[in-house]
Amino acid sequence: MPIKKRLEILSLGDEFLLGLRDNAHLSYIGRELARKGLSIARDQELRDNVEEIRHHFLETWGRADIVITVGGLGPTADDLTRVAISDALGLRLIPNASVEASIRMCLAKVGRVPNQAQLSQSLVPEGAEILPNPLGTAPGIWLEKDGRILVMLPGAANEMRPMFIEQVLPRLEARDIALINDAFLQLRTCGITESEASLLLAPVFSPLKSRINVGFGCSATGLVDVRIGAGDDGVGWEDIEKVGNTCRELLGSNFLGYGDVTLAEIIIRHLRAQEMTVAVAESCTGGLLSSAFTDIPGASKVFRGGVVCYNNDIKMDLLDVPESILLQHGAVSAEAAAAMATGAQERLDSDFAISVTGYAGPEGGGVSSPVGTIYLGFASPQGVWSRKVFLDGTRMNIRERSVVMALDWIRRKLKQFGADAEIAHTVSQAD
Amino acid sequence: MPIKKRLEILSLGDEFLLGLRDNAHLSYIGRELARKGLSIARDQELRDNVEEIRHHFLETWGRADIVITVGGLGPTADDLTRVAISDALGLRLIPNASVEASIRMCLAKVGRVPNQAQLSQSLVPEGAEILPNPLGTAPGIWLEKDGRILVMLPGAANEMRPMFIEQVLPRLEARDIALINDAFLQLRTCGITESEASLLLAPVFSPLKSRINVGFGCSATGLVDVRIGAGDDGVGWEDIEKVGNTCRELLGSNFLGYGDVTLAEIIIRHLRAQEMTVAVAESCTGGLLSSAFTDIPGASKVFRGGVVCYNNDIKMDLLDVPESILLQHGAVSAEAAAAMATGAQERLDSDFAISVTGYAGPEGGGVSSPVGTIYLGFASPQGVWSRKVFLDGTRMNIRERSVVMALDWIRRKLKQFGADAEIAHTVSQAD
């Protein structure tokens, strides 16, 4: 078991306090630390002000074993972290020749010579270790003092993230603070709420009370994650895997996969194995369903394409939806959803197709089909289905959750289709 | 001028520290406060632990004039804010009959009777004012004590946000802490970097040094916002508007609009005024360009639809892209982008069309067209154009910035088209 340490984060930058940007550093570092058995005791977003940084840093340094700062290491006037903290710790800033050389090299690539402000990034607190930054001019800093650890990281995400993974985590592992292996097993689910999952899995977890550590987390779009780790009385990874397997069985078709898997990833993996393809026809989701697939690198082997049919004549022209269906049942109907799916399957020449049509609001809908009424369609080589769902929330929320509902439905259908195909295969072999 | 107060936020919830979710409360509140002339001095994300909440609350209460807490007011075991803070302030929790009645009513709607945990939400610190919550069971709390203000808000975004706007801001305005009108004028730009904007506008801002307050912010996709507010020596709103107009002229075609306007919104507004329509053909952006349009309520009057053509045969079948172009120039070429735009314009029967084709990575591309090579196409009643851009970054980043580049290009083209049409109109009138 690693040594328990109190770890705090200081996030520097006015942009977080002025509402200009979400602090995505915190969730990134939190996730990576949790994976290694460490938790953040507190985070503070502070203003770019030497006095404030100094004061809150000292208060934090007095309570924590490890302090990680993010941001404020750059060359501009509001980059004050290095100065404020060195001063708080009573450490001199010393020019570092190797950092200066790498700043010069980094700027030479774009044909420039560093100015005084850029060269100030080569000042390093005495006694500190440099964390080289191959992607920018500001290096990270690792400092051990009075039994405590201070880590200073740059605020550009593309520089901070690899530095954290490749240079900070290994140092924490080497000091037996972070685990070398993953601290928990994560089961991702879809189609079950946090409290339903907790109730369903209670019979597995209750008898193991202090031996395992269970956490539930729910994303904005409704995927629920179950994290199982070793408790204070510690069980081994093999036992955790066994518990995970039991949970997986209990979760049944609501189990998506281990880790951070996405619905589109699972569908693409499944179709790729079967050498089959999928296409999309969407109205109210307006491109979001297609982009869920195209988010995944390598999607083109499986994803044929999509039609965003925001107007009835496009449903007819590009997807061959019969005008009679639109006139009789309307564009938001089970019949239209089925015709859109069949049309996409035929016109985009795919094995499977999914469609979405509905009212995402704030306008549209009516008494019988209010805003939030969504129809999904699914076409497969075996036939076509449609399904009505009702979602509440903002326009964006309805659109995003419609995508999740559509993807989860096709996932379940494909699983069933795969099982059917396997049965057919077994039967024909028995013949 | 309102009274300057130190305002701090406490964000309660393990989810922010475990990397399960970004703290979007902070950016929301920060933005709304900035608009009213208030800034957040510090935010802290704290764990669901009575001792920690108590300790950090007291330290904050000792420094700040206004403390706003978000989260931890619900009925479950990890909702500890009410208890921890009342205890820290030495205030008794008193059952409130009207809150209890509204909890009973809220649950009666779904046919349920509140349990003990749910009823505990009706406990209110003595001396506090209730902020009713029409969308949930946990009310907000407003408490004035020792010349300080404490505001406690629920952690569900759809409950917190209207409560903040409708109940908290008006109370801050009434006490002359928040401005009644907007504190600054925001100019949104596209096509210019933060440092370019700052250099370009320096001649306007420099002579006004202490009379105005200028801030620059840059979003992840590259839109730069310029915020102009009154400085310590204060100027009136009329003067700020005058400064804004001068900046607007200097920014020229890089000026998008005032406030939080989006590129797609501007294009839709423009096309709607001219009763004209647009369609999309996209490959590497895979649905994101269409969804930028369909994000906007009422887009259907202007946005005809889109084709996500991830495969060459779909480019040919649905968009009539000639096979000879794909064979000779490849799918990622100026010629293919132009043909896609023309095809979308014709097949989706729109006045204008935009297309995107490129390599978003991580695979694909080659020596002459590496990952990040993007071609944009634009078809109008006057002809068809294409344009090459190069973007670096992750797959997601390249995709998102391609959307911004495409939208900004069509925005500029439409502006030019509008100007040309106006000239033609003037000329024909002169005839």
Neighbours of B323 (CB within 10 A): 11
Return the bridge partners of A151, or none.
Answer: A68, A142
The pLDDT assigned to B181 comes to 78
User: Which chain A positions have a beta carbon within 8 Å of B287's beta carbon?
Assistant: 280, 287-292, 294, 306, 308
Q: How far is B430 from chain A (nearest CA, A)?
A: 39
Point out the residue among B17, B294, B396 whose CB comes nearest to the CB of A286.
B294
pTM as predicted? 0.84
User: Which chain A positions have a beta carbon within 8 Å of B299's beta carbon?
Assistant: 286, 310
Question: Which residue of B lies nearest to A31 if distances are taken between CA atoms?
Answer: B19
User: Which chain B positions have a beta carbon within 8 Å of A47's beta carbon?
Assistant: 39, 41-42
User: pLDDT tens, A7-66?
Assistant: 999 999 888 998 888 999 999 999 999 889 898 999 999 998 999 999 999 999 999 999
ipTM: 0.83
User: Which chain A positions have a beta carbon within 8 Å of B39's beta carbon?
Assistant: 17-18, 47
Point out the residue among A15, A280, A288 whose CB comes nearest to the CB of B217.
A15
Q: How far is A163 from chain B (nearest CA, A)?
A: 16
User: Which chain B positions have a beta carbon within 8 Å of A51's beta carbon?
Assistant: none
State the Rg of chain B over Cα: 27
The pLDDT assigned to B425 comes to 46
SS3 A334: helix
Nearest to A247 by CA among A197, A209, A210: A197
Return the bridge partners of A222, or none.
Answer: none
Return the bridge partners of A10, or none.
Answer: A44, A69
Cα–Cα distance list, B211 to B177, B188, B231, B234, B239 (Å): 20, 22, 5, 5, 10
Q: Please provide the distance, in angstroms rounded to a whole number, between the alpha carbons at the two ends of chain B.
A: 56
CATH of B184-258, one of 3.30.70.2860, 1.10.10.60, 3.50.30.30, 1.20.1730.10: 3.30.70.2860
Q: What angle do CA A223, A225, A228 make, to 5 degrees?
A: 170
Say which residues have a Cβ less than 8 Å from residue B73's Cβ, sequence separation at least 6: B79, B81, B82, B121, B138, B139, B140, B141, B152, B153, B154, B155
Q: What is the token pair recorded at A157?
A: 């995400």
User: Which chain B positions have a beta carbon within 8 Å of A317's beta carbon?
Assistant: 347-349
User: Which chain A positions have a beta carbon within 8 Å of B47's beta carbon?
Assistant: 39, 41-42
Neighbours of A145 (CB within 10 A): 14
Q: How far is A50 from chain B (nearest CA, A)?
A: 13
The pLDDT > 90 percentage for chain A reads 67
Cα–Cα distance list, B6 to A324, B42, B160 (Å): 64, 9, 21
**How many angstroms separate the CA atoms of A395 and A408, rounded?**
20
> Does A289 sit within 8 Å of B306, measured CB to CB?
no
Say which residues have a Cβ less than 8 Å from residue B305's Cβ, sequence separation at least 6: A307, A308, A309, A310, A311, A314, A318, B279, B280, B290, B348
Question: When comparing pLDDT for A93 and B428, which is higher?
Answer: A93
Q: How far is A431 from chain B (nearest CA, A)?
A: 39
Is B263-430 CATH 3.90.1150.10? no
Band of residue A1 on the pLDDT scale cut at 50, 70, 90: low
Domain spans, chain B: 7-174, 184-258, 263-430
Dump the DSSP string for B281-296: EESTTTTHHHHHHHTS
Chain A interface mutation, best of B198, B283, B290, B359, highest count of A Cβ atoms under 10 Å:
B290
Cα–Cα distance list, B242 to A19, B189, B200, B233, B257 (Å): 25, 18, 17, 17, 15
Return the bridge partners of B42, or none.
Answer: A46, B8
State yes or no: pLDDT of A238 exceeds 50: yes
> Does A307 sit within 8 Å of B287, measured CB to CB?
no
Q: How many residues does chain B have?
A: 431
Question: When comparing pLDDT for B220 and B426, which is higher?
Answer: B220
Return the bridge partners of A142, or none.
Answer: A129, A151
Residue with tokens 């996932």: A411
User: pLDDT tens, B302-351?
Assistant: 999 999 998 999 999 999 999 999 999 999 999 999 999 999 999 999 99
Residue with tokens 């939208």: B407
Find the mean pLDDT for residues A210-221: 79
Point out the residue among A26, A394, A396 whose CB comes nearest to the CB of B16.
A26
User: pLDDT tens, A158-208?
Assistant: 899 999 999 999 999 999 998 887 888 999 999 998 888 989 999 999 888
Cα–Cα distance list, B52 to A41, A142, B202 (Å): 9, 27, 46
Residue with tokens 């083109």: A300
Point out the residue among A19, A300, A311 whose CB comes nearest to the CB of B310.
A300
Q: Which residues of A331-355 are buried (b: 16+ CB within 10 A; e: fewer)?
A: bbbbbbbbbbbbbbbebbebbbbbb
Point out the residue among B42, B217, B300 whose CB comes nearest to the CB of A56.
B42
Say which residues have a Cβ less than 8 Å from residue B71's Cβ, sequence separation at least 6: B11, B12, B13, B25, B81, B153, B154, B155
> Does A20 sit within 8 Å of B30, measured CB to CB?
yes
Nearest to B376 by CA among B384, B365, B386: B386
Label residue B221 exposed, middle or buried (CB < 10 Å: 0-12, 13-18, 19+): middle
Chain A interface mutation, best of B15, B311, B340, highest count of A Cβ atoms under 10 Å:
B311
- Which homologous superfamily does the CATH classification assign to the domain defined by A7-174? MoaB/Mog-like domain (3.40.980.10)
Chain B interface mutation, best of A8, A16, A18, highest count of B Cβ atoms under 10 Å:
A18
Find the mean pLDDT for residues B12-18: 90
State yes or no: pLDDT of B93 exceeds 70: yes
Point out the residue among B299, B305, B361 whose CB comes nearest to the CB of A314.
B305
User: Which chain B positions have a beta carbon within 8 Å of A26's beta carbon?
Assistant: 16-17, 19, 22-23, 45
User: Which chain B positions have a beta carbon within 8 Å of A303's beta carbon?
Assistant: 286, 310
Strands (E), B89-223: 93-95, 123-125, 129-131, 140-145, 148-153, 184-189, 212-218
* A198 HSE (CA, 13 A, CB side): 8
Q: Please report, for chain A, how many H helices and E strands are present, in that order.
A: 16, 17
Chain B interface mutation, best of A308, A345, A354, A407, highest count of B Cβ atoms under 10 Å:
A308
Band of residue B97 on the pLDDT scale cut at 50, 70, 90: very high
